[in-house]
Amino acid sequence: MQPAAGDTYTYERTFSEADVRQFAAVTDDDQPRHTEPDDQGRLMVHGLLTGSLLTKIGGDIEMLAREMTFEFRRPVYTGDTVRCEWVNETVTERGSGWDVAASVQCWRVEDDGKPRETVLRASVEGLIRE
């Protein structure tokens, strides 16, 4: 399907302790903040694990990413639900596909489903093939 400027995609995920521990094992980023619970019993989610919400959306639309820029605004903790919204800003036809530039914002979500605060902003550029 041909992408268009303004196309919007969302994905939401609640991060678990198992998610953080697996990511720590895979990346060898085992800082205590990711492996030892805080005084509320939570682990801090790795920034790039939060950033993986973008890769889920990129995979869904079959984008080959060339560049991703992240601005980590607030920490995310296990048990937090994060909603990520991706918006195609520009789409340019290119031979057998399209160059796409997108902006992304991720929010921590309240129990009532409403976004509370921005935890991540990002930009993505890549190619979607026909």
pLDDT of residue 25: 96
Please tell me the predicted confidence (pLDDT) of residue 121. Answer: 98
Q: What is the mean pLDDT of each run of 10 residues along the chain (130 residues)?
A: 95 97 95 94 97 96 97 97 97 95 96 88 97
Dihedral through CA 28, CA 29, CA 33, CA 34, nearest 10?
Answer: -60
**What pLDDT does residue 112 have?**
84
Task: List the one residue out of 37, 17, 15, 34 whose CA is nearest residue 108.
Answer: 15
Nearest alpha-carbon partner for 76 in 122, 43, 110, 35: 43
E strand or H helix at 109: strand 97-109
Q: Which CATH fold would you assign to the domain 8-129?
A: Thiol Ester Dehydrase; Chain A (3.10.129)
pTM: 0.91
Sketch the domain layout of the chain as residue ranges. 8-129
